[in-house]
Structure 1
Amino acid sequence: MIIATIIGMAIVTMVPRFLPAFIMNGLTLKPWVNRWLNAIPFAALGALIFPGIMYVIDDRPLIGILGGVVAAVIALFNVNVIFAVIGSILTVYLLTM
């Protein structure tokens, strides 16, 4: 019974993930819709990352904000994302010393 429940939950989870891929395969969208859909991952990342920036160190949110600003500035130069991550980590580390 447990195996059947796990398989059932897997199917229910997979259907909404795979169905749009098959439906959208035959459709062509307007360019503004494509631009809007391409922006969603960035908005989701911002919503996930920003609260974490505020609480890097309790009672000192400015340190996290400065680390985020350093990461954003590095990212503006279109370098590999690992450099933005390392830059923000080093900034937070140096400010907490």
Structure 2
Amino acid sequence: MALVTLIPRFVPAYIVDKVHFPNWVNRWLNAIPYAALGALIFPGILTVIPDKPHIGFFGALTAVVLSFFGLNVIIAVIGAILTVYVLTM
């Protein structure tokens, strides 16, 4: 069982250096992690407080603005948490 799951995990690691994709494919593949994060995070933003989705939106907006200025991820997350906390008081 371990061998069956080990092969599909290690084969791409050896093949990826030998296969060269066009630039548009590389850009598309590089965008996948951002799309997956967006799909996972966005529903949580809208359901922070079920009857007040705008509070989650303002928290996310705070995180985006802080990230835009190049601050650390931890600072952006703490800023979003503080924004939601202050708006719920």
Give TM-score scaled by structure 1 length. 0.82
In structure 1, runs of 5+ residues without a counterpart are: 1-7
Q: Which has the larger radius of gyration?
A: 1
> How well do the aligned residues superpose, as a CA RMSD in angstroms?
1.4
- 1:48: how far off? 0.3
SS state at 2:35 partner:
helix
1:3-51, Cα deviation, whole Å (9 max, x unpaired): xxxxx1x433333222211221211222222111111111110000000
Identity over the aligned pairs, expressed in percent?
Answer: 62
> 72, 80, 94: which is aligned to 2:72?
80
> Which residue of structure 1 lines up, in the alignment, with residue 81 of structure 2?
89
* Distance (Å, rounded) in 2 between the aligned partners of 1:88 and 1:25: 39
Aligned residues: 89
Residues 1:58 and 2:45 are matched in the alignment: no
Give TM-score scaled by structure 2 length. 0.88
> Which residue of structure 2 lines up, in the alignment, with residue 3 of structure 1?
none
In structure 2, runs of 5+ residues without a counterpart are: none
